[in-house]
Structure 1
Amino acid sequence: MIRLIKKGLMFGNLVHISSPALVERYNRALQHLAGKTTALTDFHIDISGYSPEVGIELEDELYLNPNGVNRQFILLTTEQKRAPLLNVKFSTSRDILREFIEMNEAQLFALTATDAVAGELVNSVIKLTTPRDLLNLRKIEIEADTAGGTLRKAQQLAGMVERFKTEEDAWFDDVLIAKMIETAKETGDVTRNPVRLRHTAFEQRNFWTAHFGGLYLFPDLNHPAVICMGDRPDDMPIKYVFDPSQRNQIAKFLGLNGLVETIIEARGVNSAAILQQKMDFLTVDAATDAGVDLTGLDRGDMRRLARNHSDRLPDAYHGLAQLLRWAKDGGPWPRITSDHPAYFYTLRATNTPNRDLVNMLLAELAPLDPRQVFICHKELFYRTYATWPEAKKAYVADFLAREYQVDKAGARAALFGHEPDMSGNDRISEDIIARVGPWGAVGRS
């Protein structure tokens, strides 16, 4: 993993904490949340305030996420909104935290100027005992306050101010006035600058969880289903529960809900280039198994590798090659059904609220495309990366650093964007797509 860290592909964009004041605030918040402190004076934190260095020190990578259900967080700066979320257990957690920070940025900026803000993503489940419990996680509420209780005290002060203004004898209540003055020293003038956080409840509809071997839950669709990557649960109150071996059923589910489109259909992408790169990754995987040196490969080298190791290339490669020939050279229209190993490599999510979740699922169904896995499902990428031979680790890390890391937004837009393409290049005509559909039997016109 050191290679990934050096290239900024792991633990990238974390917030560096080194000032004694911030470390002291972090420890007060950590003591408040978990009853622990760190002896480190220099560490990095993610959007939730989790630090991999502190996790190692405490020998607990879930020190801010007990039971992996109710994620706790420590905010030292609003700049954490740009950081990733590590040790992800739910696909929605980072989006919720980022939206919370952005909607309360001015208030959080003021609060974190003098203290850390500590809180928790709270739901009705304390611990998951069965997969069925996951369907109870429909609403996530954020509870937050400074380690010193500024918001709680501000609320108390607001109540005291109201009493002072409305109760007949409050002007003569020396105890009340003294309490107001003392509390105001900590909270400031809450009448002119009310201290409160808004929008602290979030709906969690369709989501992925790492629990129970990995589950994709789509209860909030016209045709709901659960897709499990581990053991198949038998107690889910949803009629359709699929595992990766049920390719036809998963494909039908994605199609019925309008969740996917083929790369050939997609607007605004160079479909031929995407297909070629996926084929290159499949070639690299086959060449790695043969012990080939992958250093400094160019386009000619990749073609030679494919020829020399054609007997090792998976069926998915040959399906993508047929599609590429159709797209570029007018070859016969390939009939690639969901049974074909290439099928899920040819898809991307349509532009729906579930786009990121569907691309995450597709990455898991097409695991030999490390670029998509890295972009869409980092937990899976790091897990599988650790199992690769050194040659493949070096090739993929160099590729991602060269082709993705330098322009993340551009790479994402090129692969998954849904903006209309104005160039007219590398686009299959709309009338052909309309005639053949995603995978029709009509030949190329």
Structure 2
Amino acid sequence: MKRLIQRGLMFGNLIRVDSPALIERYNRALKALTGRTTGLTDFHIDISGYSYEVGEELGDHLYLNPNGVNRLFIILTTEQKTAPLLNAKFSTSRGILKQFIEENKAKLFALTARDAVSGELDNSVFDASSPARLFDIRTITVNADTTQSHVKNARALADRIERFRTEDDAWFDDALIAEMIELARTTGDVTRQPIDLARPTYTQDNFWTAHFGGLYVFRDVAEPGVIAVGDKHALGVMPIASTLDFGDRNGIAAFLEVNALVEPIIKARGVDGAAILRQKMDFILIDAATSAGIEIDGMDPRALHRLAQRMGADLPEEFLKLNQLVRWALNGGKWPRIASDDASYFYTLRARPDHPDRDLINMLLSELSPLDIRQLFICHKQAFYDAYARWPDAKKEYVAEFLHRDYAANKAGAREALFGGEEPRARPVTPPPKEDIIDLVGPWGAVRR
């Protein structure tokens, strides 16, 4: 992994924590959440406040993610919103945390100037002891406060201010006034500078989870289903219409088609489909060459073309089928038919760019086409790192250098060219309309019959 770390492709964009004040705040939050503290004088944290170094020190890399559900978080700075989420157990967690920080940026900036903000992504499920339990997760609510309960106290003060304004005898209630004064010592004037954090709730109908070897759950589609990375029979009875695994290539292809989740890259609007497929061919070629122990002369197109010529009859089937598509795109002729059980089939697809679960679908496609190292790295970091550890050194060097040179230099541009559209946002639950008493009976009360 040293090549990746040196090129900023692993543990990149983490937030360094090295000041005594920030470490003291982190420890207060960590103590409140887990009952433990760190003795480290510097470490790095991700968007949730998790630190690999602290995990090593504690001997527990799930110290902010007990049982892999209801992720805890510690926010020391709003800059964490740009950091990755390490040890992710659900695909929705980072998007929810990022959106929460963005939507409460001003309040969090004020609160983290004095204290750490900590909390939980609450999904009301406390264990994932069986695959069926995952289907009890419907929504995620963000609960957050400082270690000194600034938010809780601000809510209490706002409640007492409302009582003071509306109750007839509040001006003479010495106990109420004393409570307001005491709460205001810690919160300040909440009428001028509100510090209450919202408790947003987000839907989690379609998601990936690392539990049980990896599962893709799709409930908010026309024909719901779950797709397992491992053996579907090991999951037992699932409370959903369709259960597939990666061995059911035809079934997965039909599922993606009937739910209108994907489109052929070569026919996608606004992209150079032939160029994208040619790049995938290069990745497949490099894998075949390095696996066979054939030396790679260079990374430029001419060197890779010579490498393909040298391999000749040993070129893999995926390479040849994608080449047929590229020839069709450039020269026309008969449309090359690629069946869904063909090894190259999922390399030809991408998620529809306007779909709200675009990133989840591309994540699934990256696991179904693992030789496309760029898509695997972008869409599914953990699967990429697991695969990288098994590669020969020649492939590791090529991949690390390619990602550093061609992807890291323009990440946003690469994502736009490959997948299109803006990054989808977490979907909030729409609250039911409030039934205000005035709306129900009018300003003069109920009409008597």
TM over 0.5: yes
Of the structure 1 ranges 153-162 and 127-136, higher mean CA displacement relative to structure 2 is found in 153-162
1:376 to 376, 379, 387: 379
**Cα pair distance change 1:395/1:177, threshold 3 Å:** same
Give 2:251's aligned amino acid.
Q
What are the within-5 Å matches in structure 2 for residues 4-83 of structure 1? 4-83=4-83
Counterpart of 2:256 in 1: which secondary structure? Answer: helix
2:339 to 337, 340, 343: 337
**How far apart are the structure 2 equivalents of 1:163 and 1:278?**
65
Give 2:237's aligned amino acid.
D
For 1:416, the equivalent position in structure 2 comes to 419
Q: Does the 8 Å CA contact 1:117/1:145 hold for their aligned counterparts? A: yes
For 1:401, the equivalent position in structure 2 comes to 404
**How far apart are the structure 2 equivalents of 1:194 and 1:69?**
31
CA shift, 1:170, in A, is 4.8
The Cα offsets for residues 147-167 of structure 1, whole Å up to 9 and x where unpaired, read as 111111112222333444455
For 2:290, the equivalent position in structure 1 comes to 288
The Cα offsets for residues 355-401 of structure 1, whole Å up to 9 and x where unpaired, read as 11110000000001100100111111011111111111110000000
**How far apart are the structure 2 equivalents of 1:34 and 1:294?**
50
Give 2:273's aligned amino acid.
S
Give 1:379's aligned amino acid.
Q
Unmatched segments (≥5 aa) in structure 2: 423-449
**How far apart are the structure 2 equivalents of 1:159 and 1:240?**
49
Give 2:363's aligned amino acid.
M
Give 2:342's aligned amino acid.
H
Q: Does the 8 Å CA contact 1:294/1:392 hold for their aligned counterparts? A: no
Q: Is 1:273 the counterpart of 2:302 in the alignment? A: no
Q: Does the 8 Å CA contact 2:15/2:44 hold for their aligned counterparts? A: yes
Q: Does the 8 Å CA contact 1:295/1:395 hold for their aligned counterparts? A: no
For 2:149, the equivalent position in structure 1 comes to 149
Of the structure 1 ranges 218-227 and 183-192, higher mean CA displacement relative to structure 2 is found in 183-192
CA shift, 1:329, in A, is 2.9
The Cα offsets for residues 125-151 of structure 1, whole Å up to 9 and x where unpaired, read as 100111111111111111110011111
Give 1:394's aligned amino acid.
E
Counterpart of 1:310 in 2: which secondary structure? Answer: helix
**How far apart are the structure 1 equivalents of 2:421 and 2:91?**
21
1:391 to 386, 389, 394: 394
CA shift, 1:418, in A, is 5.0
**How far apart are the structure 1 equivalents of 2:198 and 2:132?**
31
Q: Does the 8 Å CA contact 1:268/1:418 hold for their aligned counterparts? A: no
Counterpart of 2:41 in 1: which secondary structure? Answer: coil
What are the within-5 Å matches in structure 2 for residues 106-125 of structure 1? 106-125=106-125
The Cα offsets for residues 152-197 of structure 1, whole Å up to 9 and x where unpaired, read as 1112222333444455655455554443323211111123223212
**Cα pair distance change 1:3/1:162, threshold 3 Å:** same
Give 1:414's aligned amino acid.
A
For 1:316, the equivalent position in structure 2 comes to 318
Q: Does the 8 Å CA contact 2:322/2:344 hold for their aligned counterparts? A: yes
Give 1:358's aligned amino acid.
I
Q: Does the 8 Å CA contact 2:143/2:199 hold for their aligned counterparts? A: no
**How far apart are the structure 2 equivalents of 1:43 and 1:194?**
32
**How far apart are the structure 2 equivalents of 1:194 and 1:390?**
55
2:242 to 237, 240, 243: 240
**Cα pair distance change 1:330/1:163, threshold 3 Å:** closer
**How far apart are the structure 2 equivalents of 1:296 and 1:308?**
14
**How far apart are the structure 2 equivalents of 1:294 and 1:72?**
46
**How far apart are the structure 1 equivalents of 2:191 and 2:327?**
70
For 2:431, the equivalent position in structure 1 comes to none
